[in-house]
Amino acid sequence: MARTKFKPSKLTLFIGLFLTGCIFLLLPQNVTSKVNFAFIDIFDYFLNMGSSAQKPRQNSPGSYVSRQEYLRLYTAYTNLEAQLAEQKKQFEKLSKIRLTEPDPSTGLIIAKVVNRKEHQFIINRGSADGLQTGQYVLGDNAVIGLIEQVSDDISSVRLISSSACKLPIKISSPEINSYFNGTIQGDDKSGARILNIPQKYKIKAGNNVYAAEKAGLLSSMRIIGRISKCTPGAKSAVVWDIEVKPVYDFENITDVAVVVIKSPEFK
Amino acid sequence: MKWFRFSLVILAATVIGAGALMDVISITEQHIKPSLLLMLLVYFAINCNSYDAIICCFSIGLAADITGNLIGPYFISFGVIGTALTQVRKFILLKKTGQQAFAIFLTGISIYLLAIIIMKFKTSGSGAPTFANAAAVSMYSAILWFLLKIPVETLGKWLGVGVYRFGNSLSEPRA
């Protein structure tokens, strides 16, 4: 007996596929992201073919250091400077209270960048290593973004150059030995902008921008970049238009560290 | 239509499109790259019979979603706009390369616009391309079509698309 082959009409096919799309859309993002991560996991080699991450690094001869090494040292120096200033302040004001800053090295998870997309990194660590959404990601000690999605063994990092990445910051003002609070947001190009800083604050190009401390996520300030442009606001005359250049060129970053602060255990 | 070969081609286009190799031909500091999947969508929508074209459009949408952050927005937008294009070609033949390039540009803008709207519902726009970015990608893809038309047509023949005999497509059933 001949079997009848099931072939829906064009309209039925279209509606069926459309409804499938709606179901995909309604599924939770942490479920569907497993498919995205699986794709990256499987085709990792082909996706990174020809990227700067696969090229071997070259050492500069003589007593000179490479730009990458210079940036690493400069970042370490500015972070130390910020920590020193912060500690001086704390010693002056809270000399009788014991400092409870955790050792940062105990809360860092080193991860490798396995793929890079527009304003996004995919790293080879996941929830199995203690990663969670919202954690800060460092590239050689400078904050470069936040953890956006996490699966068991792979995660995505939203870089600070993305407009979807917003975080609290502090702008250094060495002239008055103080910091101004603000919020940074990516400009969807290669840098970021600082929003709604009043012009009464003495800020100028060259000042350092730090990620502000955040309970449970970042225990001390970490550098993000430097102000590259600071002009009176085009939309509002009372605020600055501030552009920030990150310390690092994201193209050259191959390894990152995720700040994972362990909550203290009370007995 | 040879579906196994089709899935291989789509997989290859997805990996190449999402990989670092495309950075070689990216332009401006926003790294504008052409969309291979968009070009394939327009090619299949124009050359396949409308039944196969619907399946092709949704499959290409799924491939576009896999390289992004969400599953669904591109699946729907590629499917809906691609299916609409299969209806348009009943009135406009879209045989000339210039017409096809223009179709790629318009289809690209419509697809990204619809995808941006859908993404806004799901994640308040996080990770969605900007409209200017979408327009630039569509324009770049349309321009690149003048170079890629012949290779894509050759690939299409290997897939059994656009092969005609005695005036009828091989895969189009007689009315």
CB A123, CB B36: distance < 8 Å: no
When pLDDT is cut at 50, 70 and 90, the band that residue A261 belongs to is confident
> Considering its fold, how many domains does chain B have in total?
1
Residue B175: inside a domain, yes or no? Answer: no
Cβ-based neighbour number of residue A94 at 10 Å: 10
Residue A119 three-state SS: coil
Angle (CA) A166-A167-A173 rounded to 5° is: 125
Which of A35, A50, A116 is nearest residue B21 as measured by Cβ atoms?
Answer: A50
Q: What is the span of the domain harbouring residue B138?
A: 34-159
Angle between helices B73-88 and B50-66 (to 10 degrees): 150
Residue B171: inside a domain, yes or no? Answer: no
Q: What pLDDT sits at residue B83?
A: 94
Return the closest-CA partner of residue B10 out of B172, A228, A145, B18: B18
The Cα–Cα gap between A246 and A210 comes to: 10
How do residues A60-108 score in pLDDT, each as one tens digit? 445 677 777 777 787 778 778 877 877 776 665 544 433 344 444 447 7
Q: Which domains does chain A have, with CATH numbers?
A: 96-262 (2.40.10.340)
Interchain CB distance below 8 Å, B79 and A33: no
Residues in chain B closer than 8 A to A116 (CB atoms): 20
CB A151, CB A38: distance < 8 Å: no
Model ipTM value = 0.86
The Cα–Cα gap between A87 and A217 comes to: 19
* Positions of chain B with pLDDT under 50: 165-175
Q: What pLDDT sits at residue A90?
A: 60
pLDDT > 70: percent of chain A? 83
> Cα-Cα-Cα-Cα dihedral of B59, B60, B62, B64, to 10°?
170
How do residues A10-59 score in pLDDT, each as one tens digit? 899 999 999 999 999 888 887 888 888 888 888 888 887 776 555 554 54
Residue B17: inside a domain, yes or no? Answer: no
Least confident of A104-108, A181-185, A202-206: A104-108
How do residues A109-139 score in pLDDT, each as one tens digit? 888 888 888 788 888 888 888 888 888 888 8
Return the closest-CA partner of residue A191 out of A177, A205, A181: A205
Interchain CB distance below 8 Å, B18 and A20: no
CB A199, CB A190: distance < 8 Å: no
The Cα–Cα gap between A104 and A220 comes to: 9
Q: How far is A156 from chain B (nearest CA, A)?
A: 9
Residues in chain A closer than 8 A to B51 (CB atoms): 10, 13
Please name the residues between 60 and 79 in chain B that touch chain A, using a CB distance below 8 Å. 61, 65-73, 75-76, 79
Residue B169: inside a domain, yes or no? Answer: no
Q: What pLDDT sits at residue B74?
A: 93
Close Cβ partners of A115 (under 8 Å, ≥ 6 residues apart): A40, A44, A47, A48, A121, A122
Residue B20: inside a domain, yes or no? Answer: no
Residue B12: inside a domain, yes or no? Answer: no
CB A226, CB A244: distance < 8 Å: yes
Tell me whether A30 touches chain B (CB under 8 Å): no
Q: What pLDDT sits at residue A54?
A: 53
The Cα–Cα gap between B37 and A51 comes to: 21
Residue B27: inside a domain, yes or no? Answer: no
